[in-house]
Structure 1
Amino acid sequence: MPTAPRRRAARFLPFALLLSLLSAAPSFQVEAQNPARPVPLPARVAPELQRAGGSELRALRVSVTNETAFRQWLGGIRPGAVAEVEPRHPKMLRVRGIGAAALAESPWVLFVQGADRKARPERELGGLDLGANKVTAVHARYPTLTGQGLTVSVKESPLDVADLDFRGRLLEADPLAPLLNSHSTTMATIIAGAGNSSPDGRGVAWRARIAQSSYDNLLPDDGVQLAARGVSVQNHSYGVEVENFYGLEARAYDQQARQYPTLLHVFSSGNSGQRPAPAGPYAGLDSLANLTGEFKNAKNTLSVGVTDALGSVNPLSSRGPAADGRIKPELVAFGDGGSSDAAALVSGISLLVQQAHQQRRGTLPTAALVRAALLNSADDVGRPQVDFVAGYGQADALGAVQTMLDGRFMEGTATTGQERVFSITVPAGVHRLKITLAWTDPEAAAGTATALINDLDLTLRRTATSQQWLPWTLSAYPHRDSLARPARRRPNHRDNAEQITLDAPVAGTYELRVRGFAVPQGPQAFSVVYELESGLYWVAPTKARGLEAAGAGQLLRWQWAGPATTARLEYKPAGQAAWMVLSANVNLADKLYRWTAPNATQSGQLRLVAAATTALSDTFFVARPLALAVAYSCPQEALLTWRRVPGATQYQVYALGATHLEPLRRLTDTTLLLTTAEITARYFAVAPVLSGRVGPRGASEDILQENHGCYVRSFTPRLLVTDSVRFDLTLGSVYRLQAVALERRQPDGSFLEILSLNPVPGLALELADPAAPAGYSQYRARLTLSSGAVVYSQPERVFRVSEAPEVLVYPVPLVAGEPLRIVLPPNETADVRLFDLTGRLLLAEATKVGVIKRIATGALRPGTYLLRIRLHSGPEITRRFTVL
């Protein structure tokens, strides 16, 4: 641990002396009369506690230099106080029974902050568009980049371990964990959903393993356990209140990043973008410095803000700067449900970037290299270059992955005064050269005003002319106008990431120079990446993700790096020669266009034509997802059916395997009979095959759902009490169905066949028993298959009222509170009166035709009562009943 925090603490006056000096000043005498204003506390206390005055009722997290000495001091001044060690965090304790003001007096205390802040999810309901951050383009171009072999951890409340999209990939899943909300399940789906439930359930790194941990403790998880599980990315889509300081948690995350160099933490920035910072240098500035949690102020992690599908930053997206003026958030990404979605998306992209490095070098990249690739490839949004709203820009999965696959990165170390030089060659026609330096900086002291420890400088130099360019740096002065100023080229001594861009670079050799400006804890490892932006290419749709037929307002996306210009946008169905003009004049800089695709199932292509440049899209499908239906599901076999798709020559059926849907069979028919062994897969889906290419599949169907049934979808009586017994039988299929019969149960337990239909005339049948006896009878439907097998429906009971004037009263006896029911003969009405045995009238009502009269008995005491029922046709009937 560096000694700087102790030297800094020594500069403060003892707290008791500070109070005595302040109390002697006349100005303080006035303030002391107002108990709403807390006594100022030393800078070793978190801002939130300074505002609250350091209540003794709160649990406090305390960083100390010497645990034994601190405990002795604590026992001496407050014997009743309790101090518990924070697991896995040496010299950090959780203390109760003493306030922050008193703790700040201890010579052994480095920093005090609240320990009982509660994390909460940062998401609202929304959808997902993987095209906005070019994830669909990665899936199409690099189908082997799926996250397979990597593990992501979702730090939150427990997720749904039974979710179909996590099948076989959850590590140490606890089926008894309480499901507090669906948020963590949604985050895990965005990051690594398999798409087993439907294509919409496929996440970014859809074959990665998924680990879980709890956000009840805001400190980092045990690094040893994370490493043992192979976790290389941990997602944090949660927050607390707005906190603008570098605290114990931020410090702990920076420390863990140094201890585990390949582990990357990704945080949501928060959804408090319109709130001011409550304390610190930026206090009171609306819509600034409002990250939801001091842990998001860490240097070696990523904080991610949120944009809409068009790339505009959501006003609710929390923004920077960090308390010491560093750039936060570093990235933004699309998130229809808030910054939680955006962070999850970047976590998934980070896994793809890691896997791309593995494919090229055989090892996991450092988190600093992944950060550099993500920041360097990001698309600029908002103000030019970097800013405190969108950071370095909109995350670009394709650009970051290609940085790794193309090997456009260098790594090295530097000490104070040492300079490392890397040469690159820039070809002619490059629109923009972009370079980013990033490093994992040592943890700073909690509460520090400047978090950067090791300071590196990045410079771009053109070899032929010795012309130099410096990084883009922001003003951190705590004034709204200053923070809104555009970035300028000047040295950056605050951030552990620096970026240089050069528009229209002259072709030739350039040097990327990394110099150790001040490296007290060196040597400092670093990563440098570069990108040569140029040209026009399509992002969406792709061969991996097409368009929905007749889907209104779908976004076509492309990437353009070049001067401002327009292009002609065209579409052509596969097999046709003529191109259809969708727009004669699209602005390439918009990078998107809304379009309603044809109402047909077809494959096709898009193209952009601009002067001498033509960009062709993948051949993609325009179609509606093909839904699969379960005609019947019996223990021995099940029948699947689907609609015929015009132009389809075959159909691909999928079945759920150990982790993902896998091809089962390819057929020319629109039905598939599953065997007993195949039924065990349980979940199935189907896709059309057109011109040899497999089209979009629909949602998966669970063939074991009860509503599918074994031929019988439903068997229900028209009325439970009636004068004529009639049933409605709905079937799922008549395939191999020979006959249907209605059976009535006899007094001896056997069933009597009432009627039989052979052949079966359809799927919706009416079955009647004209000779049903009066009173209760039980019925069932019997289905005979061509194989000789017999299938029965569930039994149903019906009460048939006799044709003679008869009144039914039930149940007798009854329990107090249970309604008494009166059933009249057909087409009859009556007046009903209720008496007790003393002759006292308790109720008098009239009944209606066709209605079973219910009499409430909650007010009746146990005993015997009389009902007098006068039928409007004449006779009066008396019934006696008992209430228990």
Structure 2
Amino acid sequence: MRKLVMFFAVCALVALPAFLATSTAAAQKARVAPLRLKSGAVVPNKENSISAAPMPEAESKMQGYYLVQFKGAVRDAWKQQLTDAGAEIIAYVPDLAFKVRMTGSQALSVAKLQNVTWVGSFLPAYKLDVNLKRGDSAAYTVRVEQGANVDAAIAAINATGAQVTDADEDMLRVAASGAQVDAIARVTAVAWIENYTLPEKHNEYGGGGIMGANIANANGYDGSSQIAAVADTGLGDGTPGGAHPDIPAARIVNIFNWAGKTDVCFTKIFDDGAVDADSAHGTHTSGSVLSDGGPSGEGKGVAPAARLVFQATENYAKINPLCVDAGEPTEGYFLTGLPANLQRLYAQAYKQGARVHSNSWGAAVDGDYNSNSAQTDTYAWKKKDLTITFSAGNSGVDANNDGIVDFGSLGAPATAKNVITVGASENDRQGHWECDSNLTYTSHDLYQTGQTCNSMGGQNVLGTAGSRWGFTRNPLKDDVTAGNQEQMAPFSSRGPVDDGRIKPDVVAPGTWILSASGNLYQEGYGDPKNPRVNDYAWDGWGMPLNEYYKYMGGTSMSNPLVAGAATVVRDYYQKAHALNASSALVKATLINSAIDLLDENNDGANDNRYPIPNNHEGWGRVNVADATDGTRQYVDETTGISTKNRRNYQYTLSGGQPFKVSLVWTDYPSTEIAARNLVNNLNLLVISPSGVKYKGNVFVNGWSKTGGKADAVNNVENVYIQSAEAGTWTVRVIGKNVPMGPQPFALVVKGP
């Protein structure tokens, strides 16, 4: 199911005016660029403009929403002319257009501006996600237009016969029929409507060695200058003193309980506070970020000296069947506390000092950029020093049975531009998969049925992708679930995002990850059963190592390893350069230092059949040691550039070695209606001493090549030269089209 979030701005039900077109000669000659909307491409012309029919006098005085398209890359002066004419800019719409609020008469005036080629009404059809359910009744997410009267919008929606069951600032949860959805779209204040999709944990049913965290920690980069936030199920017994022995109270800044509210989906919530009662998912992910490993060193996190802000979001609840797919449970433990407006979640952590925010959850939307994605990008734009990480999801499948995991299965908000989206590679503990031989009960793992730890020889049975996840075609079917760090986990969701963006950004180990276990309701350790469900807490994968550590898998487990890595990278910049690093710089550093996996198709050949960049691994597996070894130069540009501006940087190389350049920018948030989500388009151009030019993201066999087209989709651009020419290289950052600038950026260079 897809999660719909709609924002309502105007409250009355009105007929929307027709499209506007300019009558200037310049507009007639200008190249016509399509409007790339999710509802379908719109080609501006006279027939779909406002001048196609006379405008009634009442309409000319009424405020409404319009699309205004310019003749080319947007200049600041053109935007100023637009606002001077009385228009309020709401959002950028590709290509070369803005959604604005103004009266009909103002729209007619705007259509006559010299650089405007077309003006048209913002139609109700543009507000509807193409995947909307159209049954008798369903749950939807609705966003209200910014600046609109939310109470009036709610009244107008309820007047259609639909029911608004929850309002979180401009985000609404609505129960409606398919026919009522069309009426809701005609409410002027409504900006967007999508299916509600239940968010879920991304655990499936070690970072120290593989990612190089031990080396970074030994060099003094252990996160001690940083605070990381984790939004997850719960933490230990819900108190700082009872979190976990390896996460002492002295390193816990705060624990917040987000219980949530009853609405059309959650009909009853049993608030249990911040305890981790069911799966120990939140305790496990927190341990991967910052556990100190205790005396044994087991389950040590990537940033073992960082401090923690924890946001507990899981509770036992009853769910309306409208909000889940057929056959899914309607009672159990769910993430009830995640707010409809995610910006509140991020803001709470930020105010507590957190500058990394880890999220191992999401909604299965098959690559869609939805309202949660847009909210996340919005907060990242507001607070450019907050690095937000998200698990990619566990929806990897081989539907066509060709032995290769299919593309297009990303969850949301992992589809956001400004987060680090994390996929799962295989773990390799060098044969160490020990379980607790003192446990006498038989394993609850379906792939170890009827066996005790002793009967398995004291080692967990790993199983294959075929036995665990139902893959039926080799090389996936017989691929062991761990043991080769060059392989992807088959369950890991693949990119791209629907608009073509490369995702995930990076990967980290996500199978058989050993980390902190919860301290409640554990079987075999003297605990009682959970009275809510009359059962013990989940064992994780296989059987636990002991009462303090257990194995889990999923992109839920790979994500906190990267969140820990981001924390260590921030720690490095703080200690080595006295810099409060932007999220763009952290992301660029992790991408620039990532390692290309050699066996993405899991056939055991390690032949790099799918070199970077690709939508299995993105830009590779995170390498914390390399990211913090001090060999990179960087630019953390906070002022930014505008359309047609450029910045040049020069680097002198001795030659014969790789030269890697990464450009990342925290882009202005997109609107859900857009089919292409990049707003501010920067281009990376790298010029050799002899004048050879390399454009960003033009790759063959894992290295840059000449030619190709400039990237107009991604807000990550790389140029990797395998063997650089000796001499002075020029790295150029170009503001191709920056409609919502100026645009800050980060540049990371390896090679000089």
CA distance in 2, matches of 1:455, 1:187: 35
Letter in 2 for 1:375: I
Helix, strand or coil: the match of 2:376? helix
Alignment partner for residue 315 of structure 1, among 490, 498, 509? 490
**Residue 151 of structure 1 pairs with residue 376 of structure 2:** no
Match of 1:324?
Answer: 499
Q: Flag the 1:438–1:72 CA change in 2: closer, same or farther, 3 A.
A: same
Alignment partner for residue 400 of structure 1, among 617, 623, 627? 627
User: Is contact 1:269–1:292 with CA below 8 Å preserved after alignment?
Assistant: yes
**Residue 104 of structure 1 pairs with residue 185 of structure 2:** yes
Match of 1:217?
Answer: 338
User: Is contact 2:634–2:746 with CA below 8 Å preserved after alignment?
Assistant: no
Match of 1:238?
Answer: 361
Alignment partner for residue 121 of structure 1, among 186, 201, 204? 201
Helix, strand or coil: the match of 1:190? helix
Letter in 2 for 1:118: L
Q: Which runs of 5+ in 2 are unaligned?
A: 1-88, 101-123, 257-271, 314-334, 429-484, 512-552, 601-609
Q: Residue 84 of structure 1: CA displacement?
A: 4.1
Letter in 1 for 2:303: A
**Residue 58 of structure 1 pairs with residue 139 of structure 2:** yes
Higher relative contact order (CA 8 A, sep 6+): 2
CA distance in 2, matches of 1:131, 1:207: 18
Q: Deviations over 1:293-342 (max 9, x none)?
A: 3x111000011111113221122111111010001101011122221121
Q: Residue 473 of structure 1: CA displacement?
A: 4.2
Answer with 297-306 or 406-415: which moved more. Answer: 406-415
Match of 1:267?
Answer: 390
**Residue 303 of structure 1 pairs with residue 421 of structure 2:** yes
Q: Residue 159 of structure 1: CA displacement?
A: 1.5
Q: Residue 416 of structure 1: CA displacement?
A: 0.7
**Residue 181 of structure 1 pairs with residue 262 of structure 2:** no
Letter in 2 for 1:119: P
Q: Residue 101 of structure 1: CA displacement?
A: 3.3
**Residue 138 of structure 1 pairs with residue 216 of structure 2:** yes
Q: Residue 245 of structure 1: CA displacement?
A: 1.5
User: Is contact 2:694–2:706 with CA below 8 Å preserved after alignment?
Assistant: no
* TM alignment of 1:642-653, pairs within 5 A: none
Match of 1:93?
Answer: 172
Match of 1:471?
Answer: 696
User: Is contact 1:54–1:101 with CA below 8 Å preserved after alignment?
Assistant: no
Letter in 1 for 2:213: V
Q: Residue 95 of structure 1: CA displacement?
A: 2.8
Letter in 2 for 1:319: R
Letter in 2 for 1:241: A
TM-score (norm 2): 0.59
**Residue 518 of structure 1 pairs with residue 737 of structure 2:** yes
**Residue 292 of structure 1 pairs with residue 391 of structure 2:** no
Q: Residue 457 of structure 1: CA displacement?
A: 0.5
Match of 1:502?
Answer: 721
CA distance in 1, matches of 2:159, 2:407: 43
User: Is contact 1:386–1:487 with CA below 8 Å preserved after alignment?
Assistant: no
CA distance in 2, matches of 1:363, 1:452: 28
**Residue 2 of structure 1 pairs with residue 90 of structure 2:** yes
Alignment partner for residue 46 of structure 1, among 129, 132, 150? 129
Root-mean-square deviation (Å): 3.0
Percent of aligned pairs sharing the same letter? 25
CA distance in 1, matches of 2:200, 2:661: 36
Q: Flag the 1:43–1:55 CA change in 2: closer, same or farther, 3 A.
A: farther
Letter in 2 for 1:317: S
Q: Flag the 1:108–1:150 CA change in 2: closer, same or farther, 3 A.
A: same
CA distance in 2, matches of 1:124, 1:286: 16
Q: Flag the 1:202–1:470 CA change in 2: closer, same or farther, 3 A.
A: same
Letter in 2 for 1:86: D
Alignment partner for residue 200 of structure 1, among 291, 295, 298? 298
User: Is contact 1:5–1:110 with CA below 8 Å preserved after alignment?
Assistant: no
Q: Residue 246 of structure 1: CA displacement?
A: 1.3
Q: Residue 83 of structure 1: CA displacement?
A: 5.7
Q: Residue 474 of structure 1: CA displacement?
A: 7.9
Match of 2:253?
Answer: 171
CA distance in 1, matches of 2:499, 2:559: 23
CA distance in 2, matches of 1:461, 1:361: 28
Alignment partner for residue 443 of structure 1, among 665, 669, 685? 669
Alignment partner for residue 589 of structure 2, among 341, 361, 373? 373
Q: Flag the 1:500–1:55 CA change in 2: closer, same or farther, 3 A.
A: farther
Q: Residue 276 of structure 1: CA displacement?
A: 6.5
Q: Flag the 1:496–1:466 CA change in 2: closer, same or farther, 3 A.
A: same
* TM alignment of 1:612-623, pairs within 5 A: none
Q: Deviations over 1:235-288 (max 9, x none)?
A: 1112332432211110000000011111111111112111669xxxxxxx9711
CA distance in 2, matches of 1:9, 1:272: 34
CA distance in 1, matches of 2:224, 2:125: 50
CA distance in 2, matches of 1:4, 1:515: 19
* Bigger strand fraction: 1
Letter in 2 for 1:146: D
User: Is contact 1:56–1:100 with CA below 8 Å preserved after alignment?
Assistant: no
User: Is contact 1:64–1:92 with CA below 8 Å preserved after alignment?
Assistant: no
CA distance in 1, matches of 2:562, 2:416: 17
CA distance in 1, matches of 2:137, 2:623: 48
Q: Residue 376 of structure 1: CA displacement?
A: 1.0
Q: Residue 492 of structure 1: CA displacement?
A: 0.3
Q: Deviations over 1:608-655 (max 9, x none)?
A: xxxxxxxxxxxxxxxxxxxxxxxxxxxxxxxxxxxxxxxxxxxxxxxx
Match of 2:611?
Answer: 384
User: Is contact 1:384–1:487 with CA below 8 Å preserved after alignment?
Assistant: no
Q: Residue 181 of structure 1: CA displacement?
A: 1.6
What is the aligned length?
473
Q: Residue 359 of structure 1: CA displacement?
A: 1.1
User: Is contact 1:439–1:527 with CA below 8 Å preserved after alignment?
Assistant: yes
Q: Flag the 1:276–1:455 CA change in 2: closer, same or farther, 3 A.
A: farther
Letter in 2 for 1:445: T
Q: Flag the 1:491–1:197 CA change in 2: closer, same or farther, 3 A.
A: same
User: Is contact 1:223–1:260 with CA below 8 Å preserved after alignment?
Assistant: no
CA distance in 2, matches of 1:512, 1:470: 10
CA distance in 2, matches of 1:209, 1:419: 39
Q: Deviations over 1:19-52 (max 9, x none)?
A: xxxxxxxxxxxxxxxxxxxxxx94523344x2x2
Letter in 1 for 2:563: S
Letter in 1 for 2:617: A
* TM alignment of 1:643-792, pairs within 5 A: none
TM-score (norm 1): 0.50
For the pair shown, the structure with the greater C-alpha radius of gyration is 1
Helix, strand or coil: the match of 2:648? strand
CA distance in 1, matches of 2:717, 2:344: 29
Q: Residue 5 of structure 1: CA displacement?
A: 5.7
CA distance in 2, matches of 1:272, 1:421: 42
Letter in 2 for 1:149: S
